[in-house]
Amino acid sequence: MVNEYIQSNKQRFLDELFDWLRIPSVSADSKHKNDVRKAAEFLKEKFIAAGADKVELCETKGHPIVYAEKIINPALPTVLVYGHYDVQPPDPLNLWNSPPFEPVIKNEKIYARGACDDKGQVYMHVKAFEAMMKHNTLPCNVKFMVEGEEEVGSDNLGIFVKENKTKLKADIILISDTAIISLDHPSITVGLRGLSYVEVEVTGPNRDLHSGVYGGAVANPVNVLAKMIAALHDENGRVTIPGFYDKVVELSVAEREALNRAPFDLNHYKKELAIDDVHGEKGYTTLERTGIRPTLDVNGIWGGYTGEGAKTVLPSKAYAKISMRLVPNQDNQEITELFTRHFLSLAPKSVKVKVTALHGGQAAVTPTDSKAFTAASAAFEEVWGKRPIPTRDGGSIPIVALFKKELGLDTVLMGFGLDSDAIHSPNEHYGVKNFLLGIETIIAFYKHYARS
């Protein structure tokens, strides 16, 4: 019955999602402030149309949070669905094959910024809810909380959660904002990395100088920054910050073996990224490097002249944005402090260095023996015909750890994206099949969860 409903309404579901994807809800860019709100209002209307009660925009210091609920019986359990309607900036625009906010389907994939991360995945929940309401089969209570600031650190959501514990009372958090291994190998994410994100500024002389007149005699902040960054890893690919690994929990041999049993084809991985070799911390596999090991990467670096042609200049300043992905037990604030102390110590006297913490969050591991995990597992088995494999993802959703800390709630990370969906990158896309199977799997989750 539900499958028929999904099949016969498929085109409408996609049309609605496309309308939503056309709204450029880029949370990082203040010129899109109104678009972000428009995307929130759009979602609010869809929740009302689907049959939710108490649908509201909750104002914050930043972008609004969309809240909706359907309480069918207070004695029944409550699922709290979290997601985000904000998207990453679409640049570099020239690398998109079709405009980021004009969704199109090519090869059965929806191409648009936010198609997978996370509007497409949130919309599966809206349509799953609609289908259950239409057929009177919603088996428990549900609350939805969809924020507009995930891609910029969820600071205001953190405040909202702390201030609205009663409103958010639930039994389990359900999130679709992660990936499966492949369509042939469904999986459930059981670990996310934490994050410490900093910006560094290196200042040399008080103004840009002629690189011939002064070059060689005055420290060039770009040269210095490059050297400082290079010093952050040793020859084994380990991060050199003193204390960086102190709190990292080493997995047992058995745990590492289990993790490496997940299907993973290194050749395919390299081919898909057009690289001849992978890279990383010595002694660990690729799956371990992204799943259970902390890492450090420069996300952007700039300074001096970057326009067309040549300009001979010794710049006054150089900058970099650096992210550190963290694993359970590492504290992001502590890591930011360790980074800052170490980075300052690397600076020669000829420059001044400033480190600014931008945002961060703790890693999370979710239990695999809970009622909700068992229900998610059963839902995948029912819809995909295969038992899902537990995986540790390299990305971060900092609010997951906060949900545990503030609300005492565990999360089930039932995402349906693929690593190859190019999230945060040009030509982001999401499989139509993933979208439709996702709706089905979510509905099956409720059924199994309410039964148990």
| Rounded Cα distance, 22 and 112, in Å | 8
Q: How far is CA 298 from CA 80, 82, 87, 274, 284, in A?
A: 35, 29, 21, 20, 21
Nearer to ligand BES, 35 or 149 (CB): 149
Q: How far is the CB of 28 from ligand BES (least distance, A)?
A: 9
Cis peptide before 118 (omega within 30 of 0): yes
Residue 410: name its binding partner from ligand BES, Mn ion, none (Cβ under 5 to 8 Å by kind): none
175 binds ligand BES (CB under 6 A): no
Please name which of 132, 137, 316, 134 lies closest in space to residue 225, comparing C-alpha atoms.
Answer: 316
As measured in angstroms, the least distance from the Cβ of 417 to ligand BES is 7
Residue 151 beta carbon to ligand BES: minimum distance, rounded to whole angstroms: 5
| Binds ligand BES (CB under 6 A): choice among 145, 170, 179, 378 | 179
Q: Which does 393 bind (CB under 5 to 8 A by kind): ligand BES, Mn ion, none?
A: ligand BES
Q: Give which of Mn ion, ligand BES, none residue 398 binds (C-beta under 5 to 8 Å, depending on kind).
A: ligand BES
Complex with ligand BES: residue 239 or 397, whichever CB lies closer: 397
233 pairs with which residues across the strands? 239
**Is residue 296 a contact point for ligand BES (CB under 6 A)?**
no
The least distance separating ligand BES from the CB of residue 150, rounded to whole angstroms, comes to: 5
Contact code string over 150-179 relative to Mn ion, x by CB under 5 A? ---------------------------x--
Look at phi and psi of residue 96 and say left if phi exceeds 0, alpha if psi is from -120 to 50, else beta: beta
Of the pair 316, 411, the CB lying nearest Mn ion is at 411
Whether the CB-CB separation of 85 and 40 falls below 8 Å is answered with: yes
Measured from the CB atom, is 153 or 328 closer to ligand BES?
A: 153
150 part of the interface to ligand BES, by CB under 6 A: yes
Q: Is 295 in the site for ligand BES (CB under 6 A)?
A: no
The position carrying tokens 């494999």 is 389
Chain centroid to CA 374: 24
Q: Contact letters (x/-) for ligand BES, 388-417, by CB under 6 A?
A: -----x-xxxx-------------------
| Stretch of 51-59, 172-180, 252-260, 309-317 contacting ligand BES, by CB under 6 A | 172-180
Q: Could you give phi then psi for residue 63, rounded to 5 degrees? A: -80, 150
227 sits in the region (left: phi over 0; alpha: psi -120 to 50; else beta) called alpha
Q: Determine contact, residues 424/88, Cβ cutoff 8 Å.
A: yes
- Told to check if 40 binds ligand BES by CB under 6 A, we report no
Peptide bond before 315: cis, by omega within 30 degrees of 0? Answer: no
Instruction: Give the CA diameter of the chain.
Output: 78
Considering the rule CB under 5 A, would residue 118 count as an interface residue with Mn ion? yes
Q: Report the 10 Å Cβ neighbour count for 229.
A: 18
117 is a site residue for ligand BES (CB under 6 A): yes
- Applying CB under 6 A, the residues found at the interface with ligand BES are 117-118, 150-151, 153, 177-179, 192, 195, 359, 361, 393, 395-398
